[in-house]
Protein backbone atom coordinates (compact mmCIF):
# COMPACT_ATOMS: atom_id res chain seq x y z
CA UNK A 1 0.00 0.00 0.00
CA UNK A 2 1.37 3.44 -0.88
CA UNK A 3 1.72 6.48 1.34
CA UNK A 4 -1.47 8.14 2.50
CA UNK A 5 -2.33 11.42 0.97
CA UNK A 6 -3.84 14.10 3.14
CA UNK A 7 -6.77 15.86 1.67
CA UNK A 8 -7.62 19.45 2.43
CA UNK A 9 -10.55 18.44 4.59
CA UNK A 10 -10.33 18.55 8.35
CA UNK A 11 -11.36 14.90 8.64
CA UNK A 12 -7.94 13.88 7.39
CA UNK A 13 -6.36 15.97 10.14
CA UNK A 14 -8.31 14.08 12.81
CA UNK A 15 -7.70 10.72 11.17
CA UNK A 16 -3.96 11.12 11.69
CA UNK A 17 -4.48 11.04 15.45
CA UNK A 18 -4.63 14.75 16.19
CA UNK A 19 -7.46 16.22 18.18
CA UNK A 20 -8.31 19.68 19.34
CA UNK A 21 -9.07 20.34 22.97
CA UNK A 22 -11.92 22.77 22.83
CA UNK A 23 -12.86 22.77 26.49
CA UNK A 24 -9.62 24.49 27.60
CA UNK A 25 -8.26 27.77 26.39
CA UNK A 26 -4.55 28.08 25.55
CA UNK A 27 -4.05 30.17 28.70
CA UNK A 28 -5.64 27.47 30.86
CA UNK A 29 -3.44 24.81 29.27
CA UNK A 30 -0.35 26.95 29.89
CA UNK A 31 -1.31 27.47 33.54
CA UNK A 32 -1.98 23.77 34.01
CA UNK A 33 1.45 22.87 32.66
CA UNK A 34 3.69 25.60 34.01
CA UNK A 35 2.06 27.08 37.11
CA UNK A 36 3.68 24.97 39.79
CA UNK A 37 3.03 26.90 42.98
CA UNK A 38 4.20 25.30 46.20
CA UNK A 39 1.50 24.02 48.47
CA UNK A 40 0.77 26.23 51.44
CA UNK A 41 1.06 24.23 54.62
CA UNK A 42 -1.24 25.18 57.42
CA UNK A 43 0.57 26.00 60.63
CA UNK A 44 0.39 23.50 63.42
CA UNK A 45 -1.27 24.51 66.63
CA UNK A 46 2.10 25.11 68.35
CA UNK A 47 3.28 27.29 65.47
CA UNK A 48 0.27 29.61 65.70
CA UNK A 49 1.87 31.61 68.51
CA UNK A 50 5.01 32.35 66.50
CA UNK A 51 4.89 35.41 64.26
CA UNK A 52 5.23 34.52 60.63
CA UNK A 53 5.76 36.20 57.31
CA UNK A 54 2.49 36.57 55.39
CA UNK A 55 1.97 33.51 53.18
CA UNK A 56 0.21 35.33 50.39
CA UNK A 57 2.11 36.93 47.56
CA UNK A 58 1.79 40.43 48.99
CA UNK A 59 4.70 40.35 51.46
CA UNK A 60 6.68 43.49 50.68
CA UNK A 61 10.10 44.93 51.34
CA UNK A 62 10.08 48.49 52.68
CA UNK A 63 13.07 50.78 52.33
CA UNK A 64 14.18 53.97 54.08
CA UNK A 65 17.32 55.39 52.50
CA UNK A 66 18.86 58.06 50.31
CA UNK A 67 17.57 58.70 46.79
CA UNK A 68 20.18 56.60 44.95
CA UNK A 69 19.65 53.55 47.15
CA UNK A 70 15.86 53.76 46.96
CA UNK A 71 16.00 54.26 43.18
CA UNK A 72 18.14 51.14 42.81
CA UNK A 73 15.69 49.05 44.79
CA UNK A 74 12.73 50.54 42.91
CA UNK A 75 14.37 49.59 39.61
CA UNK A 76 14.80 46.07 40.98
CA UNK A 77 11.03 45.88 41.55
CA UNK A 78 10.71 46.54 45.28
CA UNK A 79 8.39 49.55 44.97
CA UNK A 80 4.69 49.38 45.68
CA UNK A 81 1.86 51.90 45.88
CA UNK A 82 -1.41 50.62 47.35
CA UNK A 83 -4.94 51.83 46.74
CA UNK A 84 -4.64 54.48 49.45
CA UNK A 85 -1.55 55.91 47.66
CA UNK A 86 0.75 54.66 50.43
CA UNK A 87 4.23 53.68 49.32
CA UNK A 88 6.62 51.18 50.83
CA UNK A 89 9.64 53.50 50.67
CA UNK A 90 10.88 56.81 52.02
CA UNK A 91 13.53 58.86 50.27
CA UNK A 92 15.67 60.66 52.84
CA UNK A 93 17.44 63.84 51.79
CA UNK A 94 18.65 66.95 53.60
CA UNK A 95 15.06 68.28 53.78
CA UNK A 96 13.66 65.17 55.48
CA UNK A 97 13.05 65.66 59.20
CA UNK A 98 13.77 63.09 61.88
CA UNK A 99 10.04 63.07 62.68
CA UNK A 100 9.24 61.97 59.11
CA UNK A 101 11.81 59.17 59.38
CA UNK A 102 10.38 58.07 62.74
CA UNK A 103 6.83 58.07 61.36
CA UNK A 104 7.84 56.04 58.30
CA UNK A 105 9.73 53.53 60.47
CA UNK A 106 6.74 53.13 62.80
CA UNK A 107 4.35 52.77 59.86
CA UNK A 108 6.48 50.18 58.06
CA UNK A 109 7.01 48.10 61.21
CA UNK A 110 3.29 47.99 61.98
CA UNK A 111 2.00 47.21 58.48
CA UNK A 112 0.89 43.61 58.04
CA UNK A 113 2.00 43.36 54.40
CA UNK A 114 5.68 44.18 55.01
CA UNK A 115 8.12 41.36 55.78
CA UNK A 116 11.46 43.22 55.66
CA UNK A 117 12.42 46.84 56.32
CA UNK A 118 15.71 47.89 54.74
CA UNK A 119 17.11 51.04 56.30
CA UNK A 120 20.31 52.84 55.45
CA UNK A 121 22.68 52.70 58.40
CA UNK A 122 23.21 56.44 58.20
CA UNK A 123 19.45 56.97 58.49
CA UNK A 124 19.17 54.32 61.21
CA UNK A 125 21.70 56.28 63.28
CA UNK A 126 19.28 59.23 63.21
CA UNK A 127 16.59 57.10 64.87
CA UNK A 128 18.88 54.67 66.70
CA UNK A 129 16.66 54.61 69.79
CA UNK A 130 13.74 53.27 67.71
CA UNK A 131 15.81 50.73 65.81
CA UNK A 132 17.46 49.40 68.97
CA UNK A 133 14.17 49.17 70.86
CA UNK A 134 12.43 47.27 68.04
CA UNK A 135 12.32 43.60 69.05
CA UNK A 136 9.75 41.84 66.86
CA UNK A 137 10.97 39.24 64.35
CA UNK A 138 8.57 40.28 61.57
CA UNK A 139 9.16 42.56 59.82
CA UNK A 140 12.90 42.05 60.01
CA UNK A 141 15.01 45.22 60.16
CA UNK A 142 18.20 45.17 58.10
CA UNK A 143 20.68 48.02 58.03
CA UNK A 144 22.39 48.51 54.69
CA UNK A 145 25.22 50.78 53.51
CA UNK A 146 24.57 53.74 51.27
CA UNK A 147 26.61 55.26 48.49
CA UNK A 148 27.99 58.08 50.63
CA UNK A 149 28.22 56.31 54.00
CA UNK A 150 29.95 52.92 54.32
CA UNK A 151 28.67 50.15 56.55
CA UNK A 152 29.95 50.22 60.14
CA UNK A 153 29.40 46.92 61.99
CA UNK A 154 29.85 48.65 65.35
CA UNK A 155 26.53 50.47 64.88
CA UNK A 156 24.45 47.57 63.55
CA UNK A 157 21.83 46.56 66.11
CA UNK A 158 21.17 43.15 64.53
CA UNK A 159 24.86 42.27 64.51
CA UNK A 160 25.26 43.38 68.12
CA UNK A 161 22.32 41.15 69.15
CA UNK A 162 23.85 38.18 67.34
CA UNK A 163 27.20 38.77 69.03
CA UNK A 164 25.46 39.00 72.39
CA UNK A 165 23.61 35.72 71.80
CA UNK A 166 26.75 33.88 70.71
CA UNK A 167 28.77 35.24 73.62
CA UNK A 168 26.04 34.14 76.03
CA UNK A 169 26.04 30.66 74.46
CA UNK A 170 29.82 30.38 74.72
CA UNK A 171 29.72 31.39 78.39
CA UNK A 172 26.97 28.83 79.05
CA UNK A 173 28.90 26.08 77.24
CA UNK A 174 32.05 26.87 79.25
CA UNK A 175 30.16 26.27 82.50
CA UNK A 176 29.23 22.71 81.54
CATH class of 56-163: alpha beta
Give me the DSSP letters along 89-156: EEE--TT--HHHHHHHHHHHHH-TTEEEEEEEHHHHHHTHHHHHH---SSSEEEEE--SSS---GGG-
Rounded (10°) CA dihedral 158, 163, 169, 175: -150
**Domain locations in the chain as residue ranges:** 56-163
pTM recorded for the entire structure: 0.61
Residue-by-residue pLDDT tens, the chain, 176 positions:
555 554 444 444 444 444 444 455 555 555 555 555 555 555 555 555 555 555 556 689 999 999 999 999 999 999 999 888 999 999 999 999 999 999 999 999 999 999 999 999 999 999 999 998 998 988 999 999 988 888 888 888 778 778 888 876 655 555 55
Amino acid sequence: MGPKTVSSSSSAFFSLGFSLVTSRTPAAIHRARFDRRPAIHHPRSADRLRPSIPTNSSALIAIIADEDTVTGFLLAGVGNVDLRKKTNYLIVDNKTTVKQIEDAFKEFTTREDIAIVLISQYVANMIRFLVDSYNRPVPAILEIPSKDHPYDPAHDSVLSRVKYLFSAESVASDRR
